[in-house]
Amino acid sequence: MKIGSHELSNQLFVAPMAGVTDRPFRQLCKKLGAGYAVSEMIASNATLWNSEKTQRRANHEGEFEPIAVQIAGADPLTMAAAARINVDQGAQVIDINMGCPAKKVCNVAAGSALMKNEILVGKILDSVIQAVGVGPDAVPVSLKIRTGWDRDHKNAVAIARIAESAGISVLTIHGRTRADLFHGAAEYEEITAVKNQVRIPVVANGDIDCPEKALTVLKQTKADAIMIGRAAQGRPWIFREIAHYLNTGNFLPPPQITEIQQIMNDHLLDHYAFYGEYTGLRTARKHIGWYCKGLRNSHVFRQRMNTADDCRTQLAMVNDFFAEMQVHSDHLLFLEAA
């Protein structure tokens, strides 16, 4: 699959997730089999461009290409400006967020709230593409949407046609409405309907959490690629599992405790270096919790780990916990309810 001139290694995408898909996590997922990853959402609001959070989210130093940056906003001119700035800072693909269901995003008429206003959708797409997506140095622009605002107002097909007409290179669809948030089952029939109506590549997103589900969704929707989000939290090796299954029809054996421990160590060290001591210590907690979820005595461990007051102690606690797991089994044993 290609996005613009960028040839991807496979059809497995890492979903942009605020507070999760930072550079260390994207890089890890790519090392473990993802063919493409999109950054955390970057606001188009000019007053935030120089903030520490925005600068960190826009940091792609050393990242595997292509570098894709997601921008969010509701004004065509500021979205265009944000796209140009991110391209100047190294973005090779600009992704437009019209899928985020968070209240703080939708309350400012951005994210999936934009699906209520198809005219404004067209203006934003035209503005961003004119800013970075035309001419000899064109940067491809992608779009992420949901199936609609709520169950009574599904307009993904209409938005997809607007996107194709505007020149969007790739369209990703999360199979839920904004009102659904992340509840209920993803509606793959809506993604199928879009795929049947447009010629641009379509990416299916929502509830893909294992190799069998990945194959089922690809077959059902005829999508060109799949995007995985929550299922990769604490399990970034899901990408190599799916890639192997799609290529061979066989399952990879589950990762051994020693390998999980090494993956965590590499991730945490990169995470600490990226965020620094204070922020790194605190933001690492959720990742550690995800890696350990369901393991023997993980609840007690997480409570103890959260008392660590420096990164070195936190990492030592993690390694002590996994050393204890190694005593019980050389393979991951999920002994608690996930």
Q: What is the mean pLDDT of residues 81-85?
A: 94
CATH homologous superfamily of 2-248: Aldolase class I (3.20.20.70)
Which residue in 283, 244, 225, 276 sits closest to 2, CA to CA? 225
- Strand 148-150 and strand 153-154: the pairing is antiparallel
- The model's pTM: 0.91
Residues 6+ apart with CB under 8 A from 113: 74, 105, 106, 107, 149, 178
| pLDDT on residue 143 | 97
Q: 188 near 221, Cβ under 8 Å? A: yes
Residues 6+ apart with CB under 8 A from 234: 287, 289, 290, 291, 292, 293
Residues 6+ apart with CB under 8 A from 174: 99, 144, 145, 146, 147, 186, 205, 206
- First-to-last alpha carbon distance for the chain, in angstroms, is 34
Q: What is the mean pLDDT of residues 320-334?
A: 69
Question: Above 80 in pLDDT, residue 119?
Answer: yes
100 is catalytic: yes
Q: Give Cα separations from 304 to 32, 136, 258, 297, 332 (angstroms).
A: 29, 56, 22, 11, 21
| pLDDT on residue 109 | 54
| Choice among 29, 100, 106, 292 that is catalytic | 100
- Work out the pLDDT band at 329, boundaries 50, 70, 90: low
pLDDT 10s digits, 253-307: 989 888 999 999 999 999 999 999 999 999 999 999 999 988 888 889 999 999 9
| pLDDT on residue 330 | 46
C-alpha R_g of the chain:
20
Position with higher pLDDT, 41 vs 236: 236
pLDDT 10s digits, 33-49: 999 999 998 887 765 66
Q: Where are the domains of the chain?
A: 2-248, 257-328
Which residue in 211, 210, 154 sits closest to 187, CA to CA? 154
Q: 208 near 214, Cβ under 8 Å? A: yes
Which residue in 336, 304, 337, 338 sits closest to 320, CA to CA? 304
pLDDT 10s digits, 122-159: 999 999 999 998 888 899 999 999 999 888 889 999 99
| pLDDT on residue 336 | 43
